Amino acid sequence: MREAAAFMNRSGRMGPILICTLALLWSSACMRSHQQPPNIILFLVDDMGWQDTSVPFHDEVTDLNRGYHTPNMENLAAAGMKFTQAYACAVCSPSRISLMTGWNAARHRVTNWTLRKNRSPDPMHPRIQPPDWNMNGLSPDPNIERTLSSATLPGLLREAGYRTIHVGKAHFGAKGTPGEDPLNLGFDENIAGHAAGGPGSHRGRHDFSAAWRGGDRIWDVPGLEAYHGREIGLTEALTLEANQAIDRAVAEGRPFYLYMSHYAVHAPFEEDPRFFQEFRNRGLSEFDATFASMLKAMDKSLGDIMANLERHGITDHTILVFMSDNGSPKQAARNLPLRGHKLLPYEGGTRVPLIVKWPGVTAAGSVMENYVMIEDIFPTLLEMAGLKVEALRGAAGIDGVSFAPLLRNTNGYPEDRAIFWHFPHTYDQFPYSSVRKGDWKLIHFHTDGRLELYNLSDDIGEERDLSAVRPEKLQEMVEILAGYLREVAAQMPVDKKTGQAVRYPAVGMEKR
Is it the case that residue 24 has pLDDT exceeding 80? no
Spatial separation of the C-alpha atoms in residues 299 and 287, rounded to whole Å:
18
Q: Which run of H or E residues covers position 258?
A: strand 256-261
What one-character DSSP code corresponds to residue 357?
Answer: E
| CA distances to 113, 175, 309, 349 from 342, in Å | 12, 24, 33, 4
**How far apart (Å, rounded) are the C-alpha atoms in residues 396 and 418?**
19
Which residue spans of the chain are classified as CATH 3.30.1120.10?
Answer: 430-501
Cβ-Cβ contacts under 8 Å for 168 (sequence gap 6 or more): 191, 192, 193, 238, 259, 260, 261, 262, 263
Compute the distance between CA of residue 422 and CA of residue 345 in angstroms, rounded to an integer: 9
Query: What DSSP designation does 508 have?
Result: T
- pLDDT for the residue numbered 388: 77
Domain range 430-501, CATH class? alpha beta
Percent of the chain with pLDDT over 90: 89
CA 482 → CA 61, 134, 476, 489, distances in Å? 37, 21, 10, 10
Alpha-carbon distance of 423 to 350, in angstroms, equals 12
408 φ/ψ angles, rounded to the nearest 5 degrees: -85, -10
- Closest by CA to 478, choosing from 501, 456, 510, 500, is 510
Tell me phi and psi for residue 444, to 5 degrees: -115, 125
The pLDDT tens digits for 253-294 are 999 999 999 999 999 999 999 999 999 999 999 999 999 999
CA–CA dist 283, 264 (Å, integer): 23
Rg of the chain over Cα atoms, rounded to whole angstroms, equals 22
pLDDT value at position 393? Answer: 52
H-helix or E-strand spanning residue 380 = helix 377-384
SS3 33: coil
Residue 448's nearest CA partner among 28, 125, 75, 69 is 125
Sheet of 494-495, strands arranged across: 128-129, 494-495, 500-501
Q: Are 48 and 352 in contact (CB under 8 A)?
A: yes
CA pair distance 309, 355, nearest whole angstrom: 17
Q: Dump strand ranges (E) for 358-469.
A: 366-368, 372-373, 418-423, 432-437, 440-445, 451-455
| Residue/partner pairs of 437-442 with CB below 8 Å, 24 or more apart | 437/477, 437/480, 440/473, 440/477, 441/477, 442/474, 442/477, 442/478, 442/480, 442/481, 442/505
The Cα 503–Cα 497 span in angstroms is 14
Name the superfamily (CATH) of residues 2-123+137-417.
Alkaline Phosphatase, subunit A (3.40.720.10)
- Helix axis angle, 92-101 to 377-384, nearest 10°: 40
> Could you tell me what percent of the chain has a pLDDT over 70?
91
pLDDT in tens, 172-218: 999 999 999 999 999 999 999 999 999 999 999 999 999 999 999 99
Residues 60-112: pLDDT tens digits? 999 999 999 999 999 999 999 999 999 999 999 999 999 999 999 999 999 99
Of 159, 144, 155, residue with least CA distance to 110: 144
Intervals of CATH 3.40.720.10 along the chain: 2-123+137-417
How far lies 453's CA from each of 260, 310, 416, 457, in Å? Answer: 37, 47, 16, 13
pLDDT score, position 28: 44
For Cα atoms 175, 105, 73, give the angle at the middle one, nearest 5 degrees: 85
Instruction: Please state, in angstroms and rounded to a whole number, the distance separating the CA atoms of residues 344 and 360.
Output: 38
- Judge contact between 135 and 210, C-beta under 8 A: no
* pLDDT tens digits, one per residue of 379-411: 999 999 999 776 555 445 789 999 999 999 999
The confidence score (pLDDT) of residue 8 equals: 39
213 and 223 Cβ atoms separated by less than 8 Å: no
CA–CA separation, 214 vs 139, rounded Å? 31
Amino acid identity of residue 218, one-letter, is I
**301, 262 Cβ separation under 8 angstroms:** yes
* 33-36, long-range: CB < 8 A, 24+ apart: 36/255, 36/317
Q: What is the average per-residue pLDDT within 347-365?
A: 98
